[in-house]
Amino acid sequence: MLHIVACIKQVPDTKIIKMNPKTNTMDRASAPAILNPYDAHAVEEAVRLKKKYGGIVSVLTMGPPPAVKAIKKCIELGADEGYMISDRAFAGADTLATSYALTKALEKIAKQRPIDLIICGKMTIDGDTGQVGPGIARRLNIPPLTGVNKVVELNKEKGYAIVHRKLEDGYEVVKSQLPCLFTVEKDINDISFAPLPNMIKAARYQPTIWTADDLEDVDRKQLGLKGSPTIVSKVWAPPKPEGGKILTGTKEEQVNELLSIILEKKELFS
Amino acid sequence: MNFDDYRGIWIYIEVKDGQIAPVSLELLGAGRMLADKRKTELAGVLIGSGVKTLAPILFQYGADVVYVYDDPIFEHYRTEPYMRALLDCCHKHKPEVILYGATPSGKDLASAIATDLPTGLTADTTILDIEEDTGLLLASRPAFGGNIMATILCKKYRPQMATVRPKVMKSLPPDPSRTGRVIEEHIELHEEEMRTKVLQIVRETAKKVRIDEADIVVAGGKGMGSKEGFQLIHQLAEVLGGAVGASRDVVEAGWIDHHHQVGQTGVTVTPKIYFAIGISGAIQHVVGMQNSELIIAINKDPNAPIFQSCHYGIVGDAFEIVPLLIERLKEEIPKIKAAADVKEEIRHA
């Protein structure tokens, strides 16, 4: 049976988060924790593929205990199973240490039920890197297909997938062996409304939770802050620009002044 | 790990349709500064099919050395063969720093390399510097949706790696007299062992002006009120012959597709004229347009942060100002065109 695992993350909504101007740190309480928007599309796509080809969709996350809420959201979207790895040993992980811990969890999930396809969001809105998905693929030694915006075909029997990968000015059609890993763009699908039975299931759902000790063959030096080669040395507020000249006068005068400013660049219009 | 074994600044050179990607030339400009500070060499790593002839261009733009992997297997970018080539090069020649364009393929490749080596990788860098004595790379980037800037270090691993946003660094003026060393490398790869195959490439450029290549970008925000209201942005762009941009809110509201999104999670643009209309000017947006030559903001709210980031601003209702502007442009632009045509005729006479 086709087994798809979506890797997801709970993130603060960076669009509305407030910064503490004195310490340049985020005021996490100011922003609600949400399912990373790209990951919602990853789960949606996994569920759509399950509907088309049959199979089972699991979701995996790493995070503190409240991140269970993000898994419940995925159950609402139609995922069947949820796994969470949660341990202080994972804290402070950069993308390299994150992909290591998630890979260890994926190996454990695969022992219970072999995995055909892993789907990740293109990136998270709090980290903005897009590096964890390809990192997992490299560690599992499976092909990464980044920026997928359409799945043309998935063929478990013959062991391949055909997808569109978004390029800067179009897309490419790629065929890959299974198992493989996709990172998906937002335009791959529209999120469906959760049907009532899913909501009820989600409300009661308790994911499988593992600590670092529950994972096998874990090198603790590669976890969390210790396993992270990158460190943040300083943060600062971006320099405030000085501000522009505000045009004055009547609307007609303002527009005329603006017009002459624009038309100074006459090479653009000739 | 003996850090002294790791020398030189490397740029991964991205090639598309036989051309060097502009971001790679920008990175040679940034890399030259880093290499000079470290008194070391700047190298380009050129992977592709039939790409060897491009090496002289890299010298003109600042490279001292070019490592070339030229083989039909590299015809299209694919993670697996490109990763194997670059890893081979890393293991043989041990660079101190590798920079990649933060493009789809640059990010893809950098992530795979960082995991395999392993080493640290900083994403979407916008400011680069290096400590002269230690060689520590200072890679700074907007973080948390552009709310803050953060400097990221990789102290214990070499090489240090970063992907760098296109259109942020400046390429050097090409110097035709500059030359360097070409080092041809080879790695044994077989097509039948490759697990992915590119079946087709579809370019969609012809359809519309690419927003990151347009001379004029007219961007609208939530202040346009609705998808219908947003049409005014399209109208102004059409009159000006420009491309349409949008803030993240607008894309998320579904008024326009995300190819048009300008900002940290969208496209970075540097047009000659940028209009921000009904856009409040959150940092996440501003980082994607702040290097534009001329920024014009129109917003009802006199306290909108966009007025801090523009060159000229009008405090007013876009639905009053923009139609007036369109009307005046329709009168004036033909006059400029006519004057230019006359000049052209005189020149040909």
For residue range A37-56, list pLDDT tens digits in order. 999 999 999 999 999 999 99
d(CA A61, CA A57): 14
Number of domains in chain A: 1
Residue A257 inside a domain? The answer is no
Residue A235 inside a domain? The answer is no
Chain B interface, best mutation among A23, A122, A149, A269, by max B CB count within 10 A = A269
- Whether the pLDDT of residue A186 is over 60: the answer is yes
- Whether the pLDDT of residue B205 is over 60: the answer is no
Q: Does A251 touch chain B (CB under 8 A)?
A: yes
Q: Does A240 touch chain B (CB under 8 A)?
A: yes
Residue A87 inside a domain? The answer is yes
d(CA B73, CA B67): 17
Q: Would you list the DSSP string of B277-340? A: ES----HHHHTTTTT-SEEEEEES-TT-GGGGS-SEEEES-HHHHHHHHHHHHHHHHHHHHHHH
- What average pLDDT does range A158-176 have in this prediction? 94
Q: Is the peptide bond before A32 cis (omega within 30 degrees of 0)?
A: no
What pLDDT is stored for residue B313 in this prediction?
94
Q: What's the pLDDT tens digit per position in A214-251?
A: 999 999 999 999 999 999 988 887 766 677 899 999 99
**Structural Rg of chain A based on CA atoms:** 23
- What average pLDDT does range B255-269 have in this prediction? 88
What pLDDT is stored for residue A239 in this prediction?
65
What pLDDT is stored for residue A39 in this prediction?
98
- What pTM was estimated for this model as a whole? 0.84
- What average pLDDT does range A201-219 have in this prediction? 97
Q: Are B136 and B130 in contact (CB under 8 A)?
A: yes
What pLDDT is stored for residue A26 in this prediction?
66
What pLDDT is stored for residue B226 in this prediction?
95
CATH of the domain at A158: 3.40.50.620
- Whether the pLDDT of residue B271 is over 70: the answer is yes
Token pair listed for B9: 């600044």
Beta strand A117-121 with A180-184 is: parallel
What pLDDT is stored for residue A243 in this prediction?
77
- What average pLDDT does range B302-309 have in this prediction? 92
Q: Is the peptide bond before B118 cis (omega within 30 degrees of 0)?
A: yes
Q: What type of residue is A58?
A: S
What pLDDT is stored for residue B296 in this prediction?
95
For residue B135, the 8-state DSSP code is -
The rounded mean pLDDT for chain B is 93
Question: Residue A133 is part of which domain span?
Answer: 3-227
- What average pLDDT does range B61-89 have in this prediction? 97
For residue B172, the 8-state DSSP code is P
Helix, strand, coil in percent for chain B, rounding step 5:
35, 25, 35
Q: Does B330 touch chain A (CB under 8 A)?
A: no
d(CA B74, CA B187): 11
> What is the three-class DSSP state of B39?
coil
- Whether the pLDDT of residue B340 is over 90: the answer is no
> 3-state SS string over B193-257?
HCCEEEEEEEECHHHCCCCCCCCEEEEECHHHCCHHHHHHHHHHHHHHCCEEEECHHHHHCCCCC
The answer to whether the Cβ–Cβ distance between B147 and A137 falls below 8 Å is: no
Nearest to A173 among B123, B200, B311 (CB): B200
Tell me how far apart the terminal alpha carbons of chain B are, to the nearest angstrom: 71
ipTM confidence: 0.90
* A230 exposure class (CB count in 10 Å sphere: 0-12, 13-18, 19+): buried
Q: Are B33 and B61 in contact (CB under 8 A)?
A: no
Q: Does B206 touch chain A (CB under 8 A)?
A: no
- Whether the pLDDT of residue A158 is over 90: the answer is yes
Instruction: Give the distance from CA B210 to its chain's centroid.
Output: 13
Q: How many CB atoms lie within 10 A of CB A34?
A: 19
Q: Are B30 and B99 in contact (CB under 8 A)?
A: yes
Q: What's the pLDDT tens digit per position in A54-100?
A: 999 999 999 999 999 999 999 999 999 999 999 999 999 999 999 99
Q: What's the pLDDT tens digit per position in B128-171?
A: 999 999 999 999 998 876 678 899 999 999 999 999 999 889 99
Nearest CA in chain A to B80: A143
| Domains with residue ranges and CATH for chain B | 3-193 (3.40.50.620), 206-348 (3.40.50.1220)
What pLDDT is stored for residue B62 in this prediction?
98
- What average pLDDT does range B321-327 have in this prediction? 95
Asked whether the CA dihedral B144, B146, B151, B153 is positive or negative, the reply is positive
Question: Regarding predicted confidence, which is higher, B292 or B181?
Answer: B181
Residue A239 inside a domain? The answer is no
- What average pLDDT does range A21-42 have in this prediction? 82
The rounded mean pLDDT for chain A is 93
The answer to whether the Cβ–Cβ distance between B122 and A230 falls below 8 Å is: yes
Residue A117 inside a domain? The answer is yes
Q: Does B226 touch chain A (CB under 8 A)?
A: no
What pLDDT is stored for residue B348 in this prediction?
66
Residue A218 inside a domain? The answer is yes
Residue A232 inside a domain? The answer is no
The answer to whether the Cβ–Cβ distance between A229 and B118 falls below 8 Å is: yes
Residue A64 inside a domain? The answer is yes
